[in-house]
Amino acid sequence: METYNRDRHLHGVEEYEEQVHQSTGRDFTVGLAVGLIVGTVGGLLLAPKSGDALRDDISEQTQKLSEGLNSETGGGQGGLKEKAQEKKEELSNKVNETKDEIKAKKGEQEEKQRVKSLDESAVKAQKDAIQEEVQEPGRDDVRTVDVSKFEETLDGDKK
Q: Compute the distance between CA of residue 156 and CA of residue 101 in angstroms, rounded to an integer.
A: 66
- On whether residue 138 sits in a domain, the answer given is yes
- On whether residue 95 sits in a domain, the answer given is yes
Half-sphere exposure of 100 (CA within 13 A, CB side): 6
- On whether residue 29 sits in a domain, the answer given is no
Low-confidence spans in the chain with pLDDT less than 70? 1-24, 72-79, 134-159
- On whether residue 31 sits in a domain, the answer given is no
Domain span including residue 110: 48-158
Number of domains composing the chain: 1
- On whether residue 153 sits in a domain, the answer given is yes
CA angle 96, 100, 101 (to 5 degrees): 115
In tens, the pLDDT along 64-108 reads 888 887 776 555 556 678 888 898 999 989 999 999 999 999 999
